[in-house]
Each structure stands twice: as C-alpha cells, then as structure tokens.
Amino acid sequence: MCRTLATFPNTCLERAKEFKTRLGIFLHKSELSSESGSLGKFEWASKHCKERSFSEDVLGWRESFDLLLSSKNGVAAFHAFLKTEFSEENLEFWLACEEFKKIRSAAKLASQAHRIFDEYIRSEAPKEVNIDHETRELTKTNLQAATASCFDVAQGKTRTLMEKDSYPRFLKSPAYRDLAAQASATSSPASSSSPAAEPSHT
C-alpha cells in the first residue's frame, strides 16, 4: 500500500517497527474514536525516515502538556491511557472544542454547539465531563447565541483537570516510561537533538 516503505533503510524500518510495538502498549485493544474526527491513525513513516523526529516527539511529551496536545501520536497515546482510567471523555471534549472553533458557517456552528453540549455537557450526557454546575449553566446560556468561544470556559477547566491530574499519571505510567527510554536510546546515538554537540576526535 505504501510503496515508499520499500525504499527505507532497514534500520529505519526496524526502529519504526520497534516504536510501533512500544506504542501498541498504549493502544492495546483501544480503538481510537474517529467520531470527533480528531483522533486519526498514526503516521509512522512518510516521505523520509522519521525515526529520529518520532523519538524526539515522544520525549517532548514530558516537557509540557502543550507539546503532548500538539502531537498526533501524543494525543492518541494519551487518549488510550485515559481509556484505562475511564476518563477519555475529557480529551474527546477538548478535541471536539478545537474542531468546533474552526467552523466558519453560523448554521453549522449552532448545530455543532448543541451536539457537543448534548454529548459532553448536559447532566447525564453520554460522555459527561467533570465540570462544576456554574460552568455548565454558563455554557448552556452561551448556546443561545452560539459563537466559536461558547465552550471556552468549560474547555479550559477540562484542560486544567487533565494537566494537573491525568497528565502526571500518564508520564509515570510504565508504558510511557518504557517508550521514553526506548526513544532516548534511539535518539542519543543516532543524532543528538542539539546540533552543537558534535563529537570531535583529533
């Protein structure tokens, strides 16, 4: 299916396979929901060998929550981890809000706002997120004249909850630690992330 794979050096393919296996720990029996349209499939290698950038990506997840959320692989791994804690709705809601902000049509904005509210915000919603009553009521009021920012407060609170609660546990999970160790081992000898650190032998 992907012809370019045949042209990759064997070591690159082997390392990509290693990473895929390691990340499979996170994704074990975890079908990523494509309902929100935000959780796509992994892109292991395309155009060029990316084992180095992928290992840097994995190590970046522990630097900040923002880096994790800006990485497709990071979001997918974090989503799978949240599934093990039965709290994946928080990330799914955050992602749905990110997609919602991109909508340009006023009619579509209004219909999507109600869909997101019904799915994540209203009491006893199928994927109800953990927010306080005040925020829930404020969001309900915002729906009367839906704008791209009508979920901002609820999204912010959900994000803070994930960053302070689930994210530290994700970083301490054996699966992530194992993956990070593998990424460190791969990135160090291959090429250090800082270009200045070149070995000079005389």
| CATH number of the CATH domain containing 80 | 1.10.167.10
- Domain hosting 65: range is 51-190
CB 23 within 8 A of CB 179: yes
Provide the number of structural domains found in the chain: 1
Q: What per-residue confidence (pLDDT) applies to 121?
A: 97
CB 32 within 8 A of CB 76: yes
pLDDT tens for the 202 residues of the chain, in order: 444 334 334 444 455 455 555 565 555 534 443 343 334 334 433 333 344 478 899 999 999 999 999 999 999 999 999 999 999 999 999 999 999 999 999 999 999 999 999 999 999 999 999 999 999 999 999 999 999 999 999 999 999 999 999 999 999 999 899 999 988 888 665 444 444 444 445 4
Q: What per-residue confidence (pLDDT) applies to 47?
A: 35
Domain assignment present for 138: yes
CB 166 within 8 A of CB 9: no
Compute CA distances 63 → 66, 102, 107, whole Å. Answer: 9, 27, 39
Domain assignment present for 68: yes
Does the global pTM surpass 0.75? no
Q: What per-residue confidence (pLDDT) applies to 24?
A: 59
Domain assignment present for 133: yes
**Residue found under tokens 């919603």:** 125
Domain assignment present for 202: no
Q: What per-residue confidence (pLDDT) applies to 137?
A: 96
Domain assignment present for 19: no
Domain assignment present for 17: no
Domain assignment present for 5: no
**Residue found under tokens 């915000």:** 121
